Structure 1
């Protein structure tokens, strides 16, 4: 590249390219245009994004979204406790209420269910801690001294479950630090590009497909995510990096970001073969607009 080209010149060239070719389908983006792909990733769930949640969602569909139901149950418990939960001296939800939140049964923890972990306190259950953090980030519950207090916004959103879903879905994907809840390192490239995975499932999920197909298509469109990925197994080989990447991809995208909202069904053929399909409610929740 000419060393005399300035950043301003480069930006102008990019703008001219996008104006001329930006609306053409790109095979690597699974036929999204460059403009659509940019809006999808950079303005995820925003006005320009081709992916949004529907504004009108049937009540029976909302009943089938586990994380939403668990958030509602948590907020109902706070409301029942006269609008505030008094925390333990260490700053955690009291054990009795932790068990009540978890035993709502909307999302189960395999370690607790297997008996490997005994549920005695908040930190024993990742999903209860997740719900607590989500509600604080969404400002439907706030920390006030040694209490968790239901806000006026929280009270309003309890009456509007569609809007509450929109808020929780947005906060989960755009504000929550996914890496806090697993041992897979920061590796924020997956989270910041989650919108493309959501699009892939929207487009391809009617068929039962191997997880590897999604990984390959995701990497084809966004190769830098894998290139920048830092393995965490302690091995430097490409094989180990690929295994770490696949585990993180599955854990963060499939099991949690999609699974917690009941957007995918997962079938395990064997320990190396994972089959994915979108659920019946996916297309009743997630909207795609070409414009």
Structure 2
């Protein structure tokens, strides 16, 4: 709990005790616990300006139970065809289907063969950094690396003796696309360390509160905005983190763009002083998720 909030609660509790003593009474432990519980409940259900008027309880749900029953952000139940429109899921399904037919022999260095890397990459959104290399190698294509990490950590694929194969769990995902979508979204929005590919020191930035960042993109992403706009809102909600450009890189260029939820202004026509600095949501974001909006008053 925030130190300032804890001090405020302590002051309220002490004021209540003083008031009761002035009236000639001494509240027992049961009464004090009930009063304290009422204070904490009130605080948890009070909208906070720095949270864009989400309550502490709603922020807690986004941080600790993403996409859960009480979370302001949830996944929709989609048809198989709708799920296949999501770039990252389309890539995942392609690889899982390939592995369901036969094992994949990796390169001597342990990478996915370049031909398959190219096929997987072409199913996602164009990435300026990866486009720089004519030959698509796994070591140069981050989204394919993220795909491999996600499928492995979710237990859908395994690698043994230089070969990648489908697990029993992975095979089940080919029969339940919504289960695949849920598992991969939970991994990418909660468990994935987006700092794995960079040299920034603070590991929490962009990894903590990723669902809140998703809501920010949903709420403000109809038009192109500088990524600093989102960074300011993020660091206001999480003042314990020191502002850093790694938030913008990890959140938008990496996680959201790789899933297919946002565009980044990194085309040839965007070359200039703001190249790569702006983002906007893609229509698919609001098809995948539902959002409960915070209280306006």
Task: Identify unmatched segments of 5+ residues in structure 2.
Answer: 4-12, 14-32
Structure 2 partner of 1:69: 90
2:204 aligns with 188
Q: d(CA) in 1 for partners of 2:61 and 2:130?
A: 40
Q: Which residue matches 1:231?
A: none
Matched, 1:131 2:147: yes
Select the residue among 120, 144, 156 that pairs with 2:172: 156
Could you say if the C-alpha distance between residues 105 and 278 of structure 1 is closer, same or farther in structure 2, counting changes exceeding 3 Å? closer
Pairs within 5 Å for 1:1-291 = 17-54=39-76, 56-80=77-101, 82=102, 84-102=103-121, 104-115=122-133, 118-119=135-136, 121-226=137-242, 245-246=244-245, 248-267=246-265, 270-272=272-274, 274-289=277-292
Instruction: From the CA coordinates, give the structure whose radius of gyration is larger.
Output: 2
- Write the deviation string for residues 8-63 of structure 1: whole angstroms up to 9, x where unpaired: x9xx7985542122212111110101111122212222333221211x22445423
CA distance in structure 1 between the aligned counterparts of 2:227 and 2:274, rounded to whole angstroms: 10
Q: Deviations over 1:153-198 (max 9, x none)?
A: 2122122222211111111222222211233345223212111111
RMSD over equivalenced CA pairs, Å: 3.2
TM-score w.r.t. length of structure 1? 0.77
SS in 1 for 2:206: helix
Give 1:264 deviation, angstroms: 2.1
Q: Distance in 1 between matches of 2:146 and 2:55?
A: 35
Aligned length: 262
* Inter-partner Cα distance in structure 2 for 1:132 and 1:16: 47
Query: Does the Cα contact within 8 Å between 1:265 and 1:276 map onto a contact in 2?
Result: yes
- The answer to whether the 8 Å contact 1:51/1:289 transfers is yes
Output the CA distance in 2 between the equivalents of 1:207 and 1:90: 43
TM-score (ref. length: structure 2): 0.75
Classify 1:184/1:208 alpha carbon distance in 2 versus 1 (closer, same or farther; 3 Å).
same
Change (3 A) 1:86 1:168: same
